[in-house]
Structure 1
Amino acid sequence: MQADVKALLKLPREEAFRQWLGLAGEWVEEPNIRRGGESGVKRVMTTEGKMLYRKQQVGHIYRPWHHPFGYPTAMREQQVLLACADLHVTVPVLVYADCRKVGGVWHALLVTEALDGFSSLEDCYARGDEQRWGEDLHLRILHEVGCTLARFNKGRFEHGCLRMKHVFVRVGEKIEVALIDLEKSRKSFSAVRAARHDIGQMKRHCDWNTAQWQSFLSGFEETFGADYKKI
């Protein structure tokens, strides 16, 4: 069964949750056990031929101050996705998100649109796209990655689990960068602290040479501003 999004969004809350969960799809991330529960992602199609990703969770929680006994991480991701619009950071378009308790256990769904035309840096490097780009374009792409992450961190958000598979790019007449998998993202005490955390993760998980790393940092500093010196 394909998703008729307009119809689904008009349903009462409980029925909407049931029908979103009942949509057939294929696993792109098999359910994994962590945080006392499980979380996985399925790919589903709409009646209009668009691809959606449905994150589904059971008992997969974090403990914010206003929910000391736990709340689904998908709901945290929903809030970060919405906040990114004001930060001018491209993320997957949010289609639907909700949660409910069943037998005292949290169940949650988060549905987003596919990033059409984008590829993760991990996939780009696996295909050898940097050879096709050439070094000049590659450096410009990494500069824009730095700019994008700086905008995110300036909002005091830290990604929390930043890898090449979480940074997506679309290279055409202009270079576009998007961030995904924001369920571990959270507000930090300061923009500098958020930046220090995410830059450190990028450093540990990238294989960029000195010039490439400097291009990333140049874009970050250009966007982050004077406080970059405190990182």
Structure 2
Amino acid sequence: MSSALASLLELPSAEAFDRWLAEPGEWVEEPNERRGGMSGVQRMRTSDGRLLYRKQQIDHCYRDWQHPLGEPTVLREQRALEAFAALGVGVPQVMFCATRRRQGRWQALLVTAALDGFDSLEAIYARGEPLAWSESLRQRIFQQLGNLLARLHQARWQHGCLYPKHIFLRIGAGEQVELALLDLEKSRRRFSVRGAARHDVRQLRRHSSWGEQEWSALNYGYLEVSGHGIEE
């Protein structure tokens, strides 16, 4: 771990929020008003070059039966990131997450490490890179995606915003495939495996333009883990 990052992680809680907030950054998602509050994302680098992303929010809350008065969405996202990682699903590492009340308003920060070498399937397909993939590589990518989604759904977790722009891929030496998921702000546990699976798969169908080969490989990978194919 870099010394600059280590010094931030070792800050006492009373200082940490302000120090993380004071780190310079550049907007990659300009602050916008949603959920009765404001949310935006900045890219930031530590002094020794480590790339991080900082989500900053004010009164950006969700409400459910457990939190009828509202809870900052970064806390739900933090729980999802930690739960997905425990299931073996690739996600960004949480470096810092905290909320506080100031002058009657919620302030929230979530800092995550960049997924070095990864890019979204949306961007990869837009550049036409899959045209150069071998059939075996294409099979492995979507089979592993099926494995990943099945692990998620078998634990009754729903991503909630499963678009190709939130599925990230890295192809390493020897065509080693690694996958990860981003944007877990809407992720939550469902009462049933079927409910989680149907929501995500239907969403992915609507927002992707994959062909029969991709979906067949995805279904096979899903079957390997869950014992049944994808449900819609």
Shift in Å, 1:218: 1.5
Structure 1 residue ranges, 4+ long, deviating more than 3 angstroms after superposition: 228-231
Q: Deviations over 1:50-88 (max 9, x none)?
A: 100001111110113333211111110101111122211
AA matched with 2:108: A
Give the unaligned 5+ runs of structure 1: none
Aligned to 1:13: 13
Measured in 2, the distance between the counterparts of 1:137 and 1:177 equals: 13
**Residues 11 and 195 of structure 1, relative CA distance in 2, 3 Å threshold:** same
Aligned to 2:152: 152
**Residues 229 and 8 of structure 1, relative CA distance in 2, 3 Å threshold:** closer
Q: Deviations over 1:90-144 (max 9, x none)?
A: 1001111000111221111111110011111011011111012234322321121
Give the unaligned 5+ runs of structure 2: none
Alignment of 1:1-231 (within 5 A): 4-172=4-172, 173=174, 174-226=176-228, 228=229
Measured in 2, the distance between the counterparts of 1:162 and 1:61 equals: 21
Contact 2:40 2:55 in 1 (8 A): yes
Q: How many residues align?
A: 228
Measured in 2, the distance between the counterparts of 1:66 and 1:230 equals: 28
Shift in Å, 1:168: 0.3
Measured in 2, the distance between the counterparts of 1:69 and 1:101 equals: 14
Contact 2:38 2:59 in 1 (8 A): yes
Q: CA RMSD in A?
A: 1.7
Q: % of aligned pairs identical?
A: 50
Shift in Å, 1:230: 6.3
Measured in 2, the distance between the counterparts of 1:229 and 1:125 equals: 23
AA matched with 1:86: A
Measured in 1, the distance between the counterparts of 2:124 and 2:205 equals: 18
- Normalised to the residue count of structure 1, the TM-score between the two structures is 0.93
